Chain A
Amino acid sequence: MNKIAATVDNFGRAILENIEEMGRILLLFLSVLMWMVRPPLKLRLIFKQMEFVGVKSIFVVVLTGTFTGMVMALQGYYGFKMFNAESLVGSTVALGMTRELGPVLTALMVTARAGSAMAAELGTMRVTEQIDALYVMAANPVKHLIVPRVIAGVLMLPLLTVVSDFMGILGGYFVGVPVLGINSGAFISNITKLVDLGDIYHGLTKAAFFGLILSLVGCHKGFIATGGAEGVGRATTEAVVLASVSILISDYFLTAIMF
């Protein structure tokens, strides 16, 4: 009996803690919005973050996008061949990439690369009192540290997703046409026929939202870090896990809403 009570108790506590954390992230978002409209915006810091989040992620995004498109073509071919519809492989790859895999994979890669770095950097600044130093110099850390990162996340994720989409389709074409022998004209015309701009917007909207999630979560976890190097490590891990899970869950709901 006692054991059951304790289990329920722990479970309830975990849920409450999660809800509380969600509330804090929401509050952080509101304060980011507030500081975003208060000039002056720190353009130099924003560009620096855009370079870090965007430019420096291109390589991994190209790599994951290309191979995802390639494997999709391979798998699609296997299925479509059963009813002689191989020419649909191109549009399947293109729809899959633009609507779903482009944004999600890009977001997960950038979470691992940049979201974790945000948590580590802010966490280090927290435990070495650099954030306190900002407060002391009457400089708001949300404005200096978090606003540039969130802006960079929201702007760069859609751009990276475009790269990922494009590379995925290219990879699919490479596997589909020269390797598997699908007719090139049919491959391309099916893409243009079945994929419209709406699908691309759908994916890019999701990407922007994922960019918001990963930068907010990364900054939040770093900002509240305590307990030296170990605490920073914990913050980083938690940031990656929470951001990845949130991205995958919100992906379902965003897709359902925009269907």
Chain B
Amino acid sequence: MIKLVGIHKSFGRQKVLDGLSLDIEDGKTTVIIGGSGGGKSVLLKHIIGLLKPDSGQVLIDGVDIASLNDRDLNEIRKKFGMLFQEAALFDSMNVMENVAFPLREHTGKKEKEIREIVKEKLKAVGLTGVEDKMPSELSGGMRKRVGLARAIAMQPQIVLFDEPTTGLDPVMTEAINELIVETQRNFDLTCVVISHDVQSIFTVGHKIAMLYKGKIVEYGTPEEIKSSSDPVLRQFLSGSLEGPISVI
């Protein structure tokens, strides 16, 4: 169980998270939505301890991760997989080495077995025959999918996806959503997905949370969200310029 309690985070004078609290249920997919620059990626980085809150707590199975030493934090991180918004592939390594990285690092598996797993994960994200390519030789969408394969390579219990479908074509978007739903169901994963794509939100989410002005302003099942009367949420889902969210 991931529990965020009263998280405040500022960068310099800019306040990004302002007393945010959120419970993320085990074995479910929670989708976080919110405006661009609203702090969704920052929120995700708090969950895995890449950023430390100015105040407030991130509890994972009841343990405040800020209080952990490196070794214990690493033990917790091994349960996680994460897809970064810009994929964050190692550009000194080819695709095979990228996806194999966590396997080589943390499992005693044989080289042959690792290659099998990598091929299988790449196939799951719709990539074949790219094992020897370098990240710089891939398109943005392909990079994202390699990042996805790397995130799920270790069969983690918790997976954090930062915009898994942004920049993909509609068919590929559907396929990746399907992949997330399937893996989540088959392995009973806890998933946290950041998404802008209204269609995807309702396909993959069991729970949806709306981040606005540093707080979660609305939280509920897709049905609850669809029928919510919260003006911020209404405006966000309809993509209208009229409403409390001022853009320009």
Chain A interface residue number, banded: 10 to 19
Chain B interface residue number, banded: 20 to 34
Q: Which residue of A lies closest to B48 (CB)?
A: A136
Which residues of chain B have C-beta atoms less than 8 A from A128's C-beta? 86, 88, 91
Q: Which residue of A lies closest to B82 (CB)?
A: A136
B106 within 8 A of A: yes
Which residues of chain B have C-beta atoms less than 8 A from A251's C-beta? none
Which residues of chain B have C-beta atoms less than 8 A from A140's C-beta? 70
A51 within 8 A of B: no
Is there an interface contact between B101 and A139, defined as CB atoms closer than 8 Å? yes
B74 within 8 A of A: yes
B77 within 8 A of A: yes
Question: Quick one: which of A121, A125, A130, A138 contacts B77, CB cutoff 8 A?
Answer: A138
Interface members, chain A 96-140 (any B CB < 8 Å): 121, 124-125, 128-130, 132-133, 135-140
B233 within 8 A of A: no
Q: Given A130-B90, A130-B91, A137–B84 Cβ distance below 8 Å?
A: no
CA distance A188 to B80 in the complex (A): 66
Is there an interface contact between A132 and B77, defined as CB atoms closer than 8 Å? no
Q: Given A135-B77, A136-B48, A136-B80, A129–B105 Cβ distance below 8 Å?
A: no
Which residues of chain B have C-beta atoms less than 8 A from A130's C-beta? 88-91
Is there an interface contact between B105 and A133, defined as CB atoms closer than 8 Å? no
Q: Given A137-B105, A138-B105, A129–B86 Cβ distance below 8 Å?
A: yes
CA distance A47 to B178 in the complex (A): 43
Is there an interface contact between A132 and B84, defined as CB atoms closer than 8 Å? yes
Interface members, chain A 157-184 (any B CB < 8 Å): none
CA distance A138 to B103 in the complex (A): 11
13 residue pairs A–B, Cβ–Cβ below 8 Å = A128-B88, A130-B88, A130-B90, A132-B84, A133-B82, A133-B84, A133-B88, A133-B90, A135-B49, A136-B50, A137-B77, A138-B75, A139-B102
Q: Please report A residues at the B interface, Cβ cutoff 8 Å.
A: 121, 124-125, 128-130, 132-133, 135-140
Taking A128-B86, A136-B77 as known contacts, 14 extra A-B pairs with beta carbons closer than 8 A to each other, sorted by chain A number, are A121-B92, A124-B91, A125-B90, A128-B88, A128-B91, A129-B84, A129-B88, A130-B89, A130-B91, A135-B49, A138-B74, A139-B101, A139-B102, A140-B70
Q: Please report B residues at the A interface, Cβ cutoff 8 Å.
A: 45, 48-50, 70, 74-75, 77-78, 80, 82, 84, 86, 88-92, 101-102, 105-106
